[in-house]
Structure 1
Amino acid sequence: MILKDTIVALATPSGAGAVAIVRVSGPKAIESVADVFESVKNKDLRKQKTHTLHLGYIKDGEKIIDQVLVSLFKGTNSYTGEPTVEISCHGSTFIQQQIIQLLLRKGCRMATAGEFTMRSFLNGKMDLSQAEAVADLIASDNEAAHQLAMQQMRGGFSNEIARLREELLNFASLIELELDFSEEDVEFADRSAFRDLINRIQFVLKRLIDSFAVGNVIKNGIPVAIVGEPNVGKSTLLNAILNEERAIVSNIAGTTRDTIEDELVIDGIGFRFIDTAGIRETKDVVESIGIQKTFEKIEQAQVVLYLFDSLKFKVQSSEYIIEIEKIKNKYPLKPLVVIINKVDLLSEGELNEITSQLETLNLKLDPSGANWHLQTISAKQNIGIEELKNALLSFVNTGALRNNETIVTNTRHYDSLLKALEEIQKVQYGLDMGISADLMAIDIRQALFYFGEITGQVTNDELLGNIFANFCIGK
């Protein structure tokens, strides 16, 4: 795919604002803008140095459209790797459209979604994983997601993959060389060194694959389901966590009949809280549908908050314990936070008794305590809410993030890593079983193919179309 025409698009969000930027890129970008630009100092854009700014007017014949500031990027010294001009104009939607339409009449074409970044990739300014990180950076809505996108855009992930691919390629060349001299029964590739490389590649691939569990939830937000019986304070808890009246609260059981979702960033990590319908036996058709959705949300959630009324626990503790056991046994690996609500209405002795019962249950259901937390709160009085937020953070493994390790966030990369690992394991098996070099070479080539898919050394038009279709126009 080689793009030789000149494209134009609005690079800032659509709509009115103080300033807008119209981006033009391609072989005739500078000439196209120079034809409609009149410098206040009578400069010819074609003769100006790269990376310079020029004040003047965009004119349609004798008609002045706007006073603008033009940024000039010549040759390959631009984001796209080709001549680029950025026109900073006033943010009127009328002005934006007038400038774009004028440039279209001068021979430019409207850019498609992500086409500027695609040209950057095709012109070797960045690899494919870095290009995908641009979209992630634009979409990042919390500190952790931003940090991951910046790390990938700066080449942290692709550099690690490129190093592994280069070392494997060197050995692959020696294996292929052996095939040329197969009749002479010689070995150019040191098998012990090759074995060490295969072991190291497997270790790195497994670490990257495991990191996807963390990267995916950080990128997309961690879904947290708030569940429990009707009228135990689930909606009040959601409002307390978000610090706003997001959900309707009333003393009538079954008020929440559908799931209510909202997001909150806690210490740089995005959480998506889901207030669900109360779990109980009911003949109400609408409420039954809401309860069914509750169980669906538990399936989708990364963390479950099981909330109960401390006053009701005193008289029906066995029923609550059975319900907690059901959830924990059905989802043994899913972090469960058991929340005692309305503790402000309990005496110290009553609270200690309930806590003791639940801690005994914890030892029975989750002896390690790794996926269990007990929290006392009063949602109405805002007691224990900050402690609950800290407990949620404890379930997120941010160690790799703090240590600036490479974390995989992209599903396409994850899939390619899994396939590459499968091929490397075949190579390992071949080494162990003494399989001939020609058969091992097939698996090595396939592993190299999957490595190349990640960074874009191996690609096709359909793949690029799918990736850049998710970009915004103008980027």
Structure 2
Amino acid sequence: AKGARIARPGEYTQRAFMNGKMDLSQAEAVADLIASTTRASQKVAIQQMRGGFSSEISALREQLLHFIALVELELDFSEEDVEFADRRQLRSLVDQIVRVVTRLKDSYRLGNVIKNGIPVAIVGETNVGKSTLLNALLNEEKAIVSDIHGTTRDVIEDVVNIQGTAFRFFDTAGLRETSDVVESMGIERSYRKLREASVILLVVDTTAPLPRILDRIYAIRDLIDEQHLLITANKLDIGSAETIQGLRELPLKENEHLVFLSAKRREHLDELISRMQETVSLERIGEEDTIVTNARHFEALSQAYESLQRVQAGMDQQLSGEFLAQDIRECLQYLGAITGEISNDEVLGHIFKHFCIGK
């Protein structure tokens, strides 16, 4: 047909957004749904496409508009000493908004895991079987497997969908003292990934003496904070009976688990996978739960949170409404950027909608 052309990438979704059929966050959810690889990420993307997240943002903006309308009305009638709202009620409203923004902002930690996979760092001394374990989990040869110490000289990253859950594995260089410049750079990157991971798979060699393994466990405990530590006792098929028994008697902390396996023979991998899945209970996500998965949304919510904190501080210091209104407007802009509905006339329209200036 004359004038026909191939649609540009995302053109139909863009037209839907421009014509008001969906907001910006819903449009982004379309792309997230297409790219989703797990049930959890699909569930969250569909919930956002249906407007669940948008509704929460719209409700927040409506409350903020009500707040700023009251404040600006007081400024307009300041000479008449008219009070349109009790300051305690306004503070209660702001506190309520802060709680919602905080909940949404904090949900990004889980949302990022849902979208990009649970970050799992595989760490341990050289030649304990880290690459063999990763290959067993991925079911393919991604890392170099060798009997030579220090073969894995960098962080090898892979994302794999295991039983409906996405895991982002970092197979790190062996953490040890070394004079090799290239290997030492890989070890430094390993420490960075260790801090970024939600789950630490500490691989230990059960053929090694127990005191050496315990020293490694204590050292890793000192390096991590709130991450889940899965002590993976490898080479169970050829391990020392004394070492294995000593590990079984090891007292574990609340966020720690001990799994015995043989990566080479791929034995007891299911138990390890179950333990990894337990660290993030994606099954508990309900249809109505709002989970932030988009980095842009998280940044906007973080900035909105900072604006609201300034409002709270200003109210504590009994600053005039003029200063409070400035931070509220800023917060409205950040929230509006999420859904793409920023309008300079919104505040004025809200005032005329809810109040009769002539009376």
Q: Compute the TM-score of the two structures, normalised by the length of structure 2.
A: 0.85
CA contact (8 A) 1:171 1:189 kept: no
**Bigger Cα displacement from structure 2, 279-288 vs 196-205:** 279-288
The answer (yes or no) to whether the contact 1:400–1:406 under 8 Å persists in 2 is: no
Q: Is 2:326 the partner of 1:430?
A: no
Deviations 1:87-132 (A, max 9, x none): xxxxxxxxxxxxxxxxxxx345665443332221111010111111
State the Cα distance separating 1:204 from its structure 2 match.
Answer: 0.6
Structure with higher Rg: it is 1
**What is the rounded CA distance, in whole Å, between the counterparts of 2:56 and 2:284 in structure 1?**
15
Letter paired with 2:279: F
User: What is the match of residue 310 of structure 1?
Assistant: 206
Q: CA deviation at 1:193?
A: 3.2
Equivalent residues in 2 for 1:406-417 (5 A)? 406-417=290-301
What is the one-letter code of the residue matched to 1:335?
H
Change (3 A) 1:282 1:181: closer
Q: 1:194 maps to what in 2?
A: 90
For 1:383, which of 244, 252, 267 is the aligned residue?
267
1:359-410 Cα distance to aligned partner (Å, 9 max, x none) = 2xx4xxxx5x22x222211222323211111111122253762464101111
- 1:157 Cα offset (Å): 0.5
Determine which of 229, 252, 256 is the counterpart of 2:125: 229
> Does 2:329 match 1:445?
yes
2:58 is the alignment partner of 1:162: yes
Q: Distance in 2 between matches of 1:266 and 1:168?
A: 43
Query: After the TM superposition, which of the residue ranges 112-121 and 394-403 deviates more from structure 2?
Result: 394-403
**1:395 and 2:279 equivalent?**
yes
240 and 439 in structure 1: CA distance in 2 versus 1, 3 angstrom threshold:
same
Shift of 1:350: 4.9
Which residue number in structure 2 is paired with residue 115 of structure 1? 11
For residues 178 and 225 of structure 1, do their structure 2 counterparts lie closer, same or farther at Cα, with a shift above 3 Å needed? same
Evaluate the alpha carbon distance shift between residue 184 and residue 305 of structure 1 in structure 2; reply closer, same or farther with a 3 A threshold.
same
Partner residue in 1 for 2:214: 321
Q: Distance in 2 between matches of 1:348 and 1:204?
A: 53
The secondary structure found in structure 2 opposite 1:312 is coil
The structure with the largest strand share of the pair is: 1
Amino acid at match of 1:333: E
> What amino acid is the match of 2:285?
L
Between 185-194 and 385-394, the greater mean CA deviation after superposition: 185-194
1 or 2 for the larger relative contact order (CA 8 Å, sep ≥6)?
Answer: 2
RMSD: 2.6
Q: 99, 102, 108: which is aligned to 1:212?
A: 108
Deviation per residue, 1:20-74 (Å, 9 max, x gap): xxxxxxxxxxxxxxxx3xxxxxxxxxxxxxxxxxxxxxxxxxxxxxxxxxxxxxx
Structure 1: unaligned runs, 5 residues or longer: 1-35, 37-105, 461-475
What are the superposed Cα offsets for residues 172-217 of structure 1, whole Å, 9 maximum, x if unpaired?
2222222221111111224343232212111111111110111012
- Which segment drifts farther, 198-207 or 181-190? 181-190
What TM-score do the two structures reach when normalised by structure 1?
Answer: 0.66
- Cα distance between partner residues in 2 of 1:196 and 1:289: 52
Change (3 A) 1:383 1:404: farther
Question: 2:194–2:200: 8 Å Cα contact kept in structure 1?
Answer: yes
1:137 aligns with 2:33: yes
**Aligned twin of 2:302:** 418
Give 1:241's aligned residue: 137
Between 293-302 and 441-450, the greater mean CA deviation after superposition: 293-302
Matches of 1:329 and 1:174, distance apart in 2? 52
Question: What residue identity is the alignment partner of 1:341?
Answer: N
Residues 346-357 of structure 1: matches in 2 within 5 Å? 346=239, 350-356=243-249
Q: Aligned pair count? A: 344
Give distance in 1, aligned partners of 2:285 and 2:187. 37
Matching residue's letter, 1:389: I
CA distance in 2: counterparts of 1:304 and 1:260, whole angstroms: 15
Structure-2 separation of matches of 1:194 and 1:354: 57
Deviates more, 1:247-256 or 1:437-446: 247-256
Corresponding residue for residue 86 of structure 1: none
Q: Deviations over 1:398-453 (max 9, x none)?
A: 37624641011111111111121222222223333332222222222222222211
Q: Is the 8 A contact 1:453 1:459 kept in 2?
A: no
- Give unmatched runs, 5+ long, in structure 2: 345-359
* Per-residue deviation, 1:334: 2.8
